[in-house]
């Protein structure tokens, strides 16, 4: 995903839900944004149901256009020969502003929130591609040794919000701080709690300070033993595969983690 210079948050707050007035003498081109998802082992994690496209002038930060579409394509008339920056949000709630924080519950099992951005000067019919990345991180527990007595696993001290534009800051909204909170909505419970210790998948928002941990509950003759494995600082659109978590003693765990980019979602923008 190409990085572009972002204007200040104060300027972005001026983004409106309609196209602002433009100098009538300015020549325009039609920009047809067409989104298509790449092949994925799990189709739902790359599905795009709606797009919010925000366009603004690079030199002043002035909003140029905003369009929301309940589909995979949208057309905008944009000024010819003017450098523009754009921000694209996918599967975000209606009325979302890109300066806001996304909430983890804005996602759903078949609709993960994504974002992307880019810049360009449109002078003639051409095409440009951009990447949409999920805000979520994925944690996978492949193997637990030993697994006898396993009861459940869950992510603890999980960030509940994430910024769209800047590097994620430490979220003040946290889930499962005092243990597995089974009063959360069903989607969050499915993301954060698992009754399986083999191939268990968890979804959460990024945590730059590394506060999030994986907690295991194991049945013992005298009650339940709790084991806590601290995870690395979690980044958006990244998969953390715990190849093996070994319980060596009541106070010592050995963890092997493989970190991979989560497959990016391809989109295309064709200028006509």
User: What region, left, alpha or beta, does residue 11 occupy, with left being phi > 0 and alpha being psi -120 to 50 degrees?
Assistant: alpha
Residue 212's pLDDT is what?
97
* Ordered alpha helix ranges (H), the chain: 9-12, 186-192
Q: What is the C-alpha separation between 223 and 252, in angstroms, rounded?
A: 19
List b or e across 17-29, with b for residues whose CB sees 16 or more CB atoms inside 10 angstroms.
eeeeeeeeeeeeb
| Most distant CA atoms of the chain, gap in Å | 81
* Other C-beta atoms lying within 10 Å of the C-beta of residue 211: 18
Residue 268's pLDDT is what?
45
Class of domain 137-261: mainly beta
Note the pLDDT tens digit of each residue in 176-198. Answer: 999 999 999 999 999 999 999 99
Q: Across the strands, what pairs with 115?
A: 89, 133
Residue 46's pLDDT is what?
84
pTM value is 0.84
CATH label, 9-135+263-271, candidates 2.60.40, 3.30.450, 2.60.120, 1.10.287: 2.60.40
Residue 75's pLDDT is what?
85
Residue 3's pLDDT is what?
35
Percent of the chain topping pLDDT 90? 59
pLDDT by 10s per residue, the chain, length 272: 433 333 444 444 444 444 555 556 789 988 888 765 554 545 678 888 899 999 999 999 999 999 998 877 788 889 999 999 999 999 999 999 998 999 999 999 899 999 988 899 988 766 666 678 899 999 999 999 999 999 999 999 999 999 987 776 778 899 999 999 999 999 999 999 999 999 999 999 999 989 999 999 999 888 999 999 999 999 999 999 999 999 998 888 999 999 998 875 554 443 33
Please list the residue range(s) of the chain that carry CATH number 2.60.40.
9-135+263-271, 137-261
Residue 5's pLDDT is what?
37
């Amino acid at each position: 995903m190409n990085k572009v210079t972002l204007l200040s948050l104060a300027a972005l707050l001026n983004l409106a839900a309609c196209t602002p007035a433009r100098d009538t003498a300015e020549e325009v081109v039609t920009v047809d944004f067409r989104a298509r998802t790449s092949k994925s082992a799990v189709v739902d994690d790359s599905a795009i149901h709606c797009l919010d496209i925000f366009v603004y002038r690079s030199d002043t930060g002035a909003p140029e256009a905003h369009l929301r579409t309940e589909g995979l394509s949208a057309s905008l008339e944009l000024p010819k020969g003017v450098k523009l920056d754009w921000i694209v949000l996918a599967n975000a709630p209606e009325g979302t502003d890109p300066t806001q924080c996304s909430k983890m519950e804005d996602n759903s099992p078949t609709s993960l929130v994504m974002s992307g951005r880019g810049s360009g000067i449109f002078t003639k019919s051409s095409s440009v591609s951009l990447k949409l990345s999920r805000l979520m991180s994925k944690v996978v527990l492949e193997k637990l040794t030993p697994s006898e007595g396993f009861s459940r696993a869950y992510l603890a001290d999980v960030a509940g919000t994430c910024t769209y534009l800047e590097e994620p800051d430490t979220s003040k909204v946290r889930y499962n701080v005092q243990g597995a909170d089974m009063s959360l909505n069903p989607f969050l419970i499915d993301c954060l709690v698992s009754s399986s210790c083999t191939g268990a998948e968890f979804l959460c928002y990024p945590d730059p300070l590394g506060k999030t941990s994986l907690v295991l509950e194991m049945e013992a003759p005298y009650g339940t033993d709790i084991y806590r494995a601290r995870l690395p600082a979690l980044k958006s659109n990244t998969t953390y595969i715990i190849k093996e978590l070994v319980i060596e003693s009541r106070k010592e765990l050995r963890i092997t983690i493989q970190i991979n980019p989560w497959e990016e979602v391809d989109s295309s923008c064709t200028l006509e």
